[in-house]
A and B are shown apart, each in its own frame.
Chain A
Amino acid sequence: MMKQFWIFVKKEWLHILRDRRTLLILFGMPIAQILIFGFALSNEVKNSKIAVLDHANDDVSRKLIERIEASKYFEITKILYNDSDIDPAFKQGAIRLALVLPASMSEDLHHQNDLRVQLISDASDPNVGTTLVNYMSSIINDYQNELIALNKLPFTIKPEVRMIYNPQLKAAYNFVPGVMAMVLLLICSLMTSIAIVREKEMGTMEVLLVSPLKPALVVISKTIPYLVLSFINICSILLLSYFVLNVPVKGNLFLLLAEGILFIITSLSLGMFVSSIAATQTAAMFGTLVGLFMPTLMFSGFMFPVDNMPIPLQWLSNVIPSKWFFNIVKAIMIKGLGFSAIWKETLILFGMTCMLFIISIRKFDKRLSL
């Protein structure tokens, strides 16, 4: 029995290894994602293009502009001369913020002791709009404090902000666990469900099912190679994030790998479940993409903040396995916590896996007796 089982596994291996292009994508996808998230995407708002409308063009304005240019947050790409130039500059998408300095700048500052400058921010992206105004305000405030150097303001509260877990605000800290959840789910469920349904479509499934091996085992044999592939992917993601992105595994590596295997099995069961329902490859593809991939992307919490969703959607997010896995990886990898912090999530995943596995195996067994 076991020997026959391994023969089936071997056959499935050959199928996968033959299709080089698919294999390349399966391994390339997580690597590309990790690199993009690690190097290209950042939550920090920096190098924002801004315009200055300098009516004063004097010492004071030049000093302020120098300070702005020195900051990593801003890049002055446009010098404007008219108030009416502001709107067109925004409309071409050339700038995100405009700073308007009044003509009487040095007079206002040194004689009236009261200078007003104007910031116009493109709020089409409200978050970036707010952030830019805050950054610019603090640059201007610093400038002001320098001017009054010795005249320190009384009763100053000095807040100290510490960014815990991710001091540099790297996007990678959030995305590495997310990519892991997404890639595993995609490879395991999409690829297995298509592989199984393809055999159904081509009629080769019947040939396999009349073999002495139990139908359940036939189906399981098809999933084993994907388990191996996915495990390799976990390792490559972890290696890349450690060596290339400098995102280390803070907690126990073996615990993380064990949880990874649990989630792989969950995803494989999901794939089996889809294939026990779907009749054609297109249906399986459609089913996994719409039924699994979209919800995963939406509700696992790594792309979209679950807290902001309406309550019914937040409830819905609880049935998405990757949400739990995402939390587990975040806890072990980024926060460095132990099993005691994640036993609940682990138990939920385990329960989901058992349920899916039993349901789909039953379905396959029943089909044979019909």
Chain B
Amino acid sequence: MRTVLFIIQKEFSQFFREKTNIRMLLVMPVIQLILLPLAANYEVRNIQICIVDHDHSGYVRELTHKIAASPYFKLNSYLDSYKDGLERMEHDEVDIVLEIPPDFEKTLIRENEAALSASVNAVNGQRASLGAQYLLAILRDFNREIRLKWVQFPKFNPVPIIQIDHSFWYNPMMNYKHFMVPGILVILLTMVGANMSALNLVREKELGTIEQINVSPIKKYHFIIGKLIPFWIMGQVVLTLGLLIARLIYGIVPLGSIFSIYLFSSAYLLCILGLGLLISTFANTQQQAMLISFFVMMVFILLSGLYTSIDSMPQWAQWVTKINPIAYFVQVMRLVIMKGSGIKDILPHLASILLMAGIIIPWAIWHYRKRS
């Protein structure tokens, strides 16, 4: 076991010798953690709406004011022709065109029912569906106000009415950054860890020093473990740094215990670093290792539930997420930080990650050949 210590010592000396490494390990995640949440803001605000008015009635004016006053919408333009509105949509200037037919107000009063139509730019499906929902909510509200004006509802409801009270838990301010920052931190940790470990072993192959290792009596598992531990330590440093930034810049304080985050990250890092080393036993050049790890990570990140909810994936993709370490950690981070889940709650996740690490690391050791 003493050999492992010598490998660890050597890895650290090599790592700290290269200034770029330190920059990559410390500065990069910091910058990205500051920049990315600014970008990865899926909050749907400032929906550009264009109202095409063929009616010019008082109701439409009221509705227009109501929409313009909403924090979700920005009144982009007020036009007479639907064609002009659509043209603006073609140039991405407008997200929704709300068309109000002629005699809208009259029809509504006379026939008790009037239609209007909203055309939503749906190239980005998420933005479209939320935008439509917000607009419908405003319309519902508006509708209720009109009714109140015309009908005097008795104290006792004449018909059965179901009222819905809703409450938003765990993020009552609906702050999108609180949702994204923990997820992005996982991705950064993963990218740094997997890339560093994937490139490390291949570098020794490219430089030829691996031959000197292979001709020594060193045990394969000593070598792999000795490579793993330094990156494991550095991973925890990156995580700590990330949690600090989350706290200082975004004011995100984990509701749950920090201990359960570190417990999980300890297992997670083993898994992800093992994966990097496994990749590097397959690759011959750094370019190859980088491409493979990039490819694998891309698939895992896309299917991690960071961007789109896992629930809405088809069954097969949900099965894939069962073997996706990133999906587990993203979920655990959100659980612990936002909901204050405890160790007991994340135990199933932890068990899965440990199982994966228990397969990947021996695989890397087995596939690393001292002899060809």
Q: Which residues of A contact B (CB under 8 A)?
A: 19, 21-22, 25-26, 28-29, 32-33, 36-37, 39-49, 75, 88, 90-93, 96, 109-110, 112-131, 133-134, 136-137, 140-141, 143-144, 147-148, 151-167, 169-171, 173-174, 194, 198, 281-283, 285-286, 290, 294, 298-299, 303-305, 307-310, 313, 327, 330-331, 334-335, 337, 341
Contacts and interface: CB of A to CB of B under 8 A. Distances in A.
Nearest to A166: B122
Nearest to B108: A155
Interface residues of B, number: 107
B39 A309 contact: yes
Contact of A119 (B124, B156, B164, B320): B164
B119 A156 contact: no
Interface in B147-165: 147, 150-151, 156-165
A130 to B, nearest CB: 7
Contact of B166 (A33, A40, A120): A120
A361 to B, nearest CB: 24
Nearest to A194: B287
Interface of B: 20, 24, 28, 32, 35-36, 38-46, 86, 89-92, 108-109, 112-130, 132-133, 135-137, 139, 142-143, 146-147, 150-151, 156-172, 174-176, 178-179, 283, 286-288, 290-292, 295, 298-299, 302-303, 307-309, 311-314, 316-317, 320, 331, 334-335, 338-342, 345, 348
Contact of B41 (A159, A309, A327): A309
Contact of B118 (A33, A47, A75, A162): A162
Contacts of A303: 40, 307
B341 A327 contact: no
B20 A286 contact: yes
Contacts, number: 321
Contacts of A305: 41-42, 124, 127
Nearest to B336: A91
B282 to A, nearest CB: 8
Nearest to B104: A157
A44 B129 contact: yes
B312 A44 contact: yes
A44 B157 CA distance: 36
Contact of A160 (B36, B108, B118, B338): B118
A170 B129 contact: no
27 contacts: A26-B291, A40-B317, A45-B309, A91-B342, A92-B348, A93-B331, A114-B160, A114-B163, A115-B161, A120-B167, A120-B169, A122-B339, A123-B171, A124-B170, A124-B334, A129-B171, A131-B129, A137-B164, A140-B162, A154-B147, A155-B150, A156-B113, A156-B143, A159-B115, A304-B39, A313-B38, A335-B90
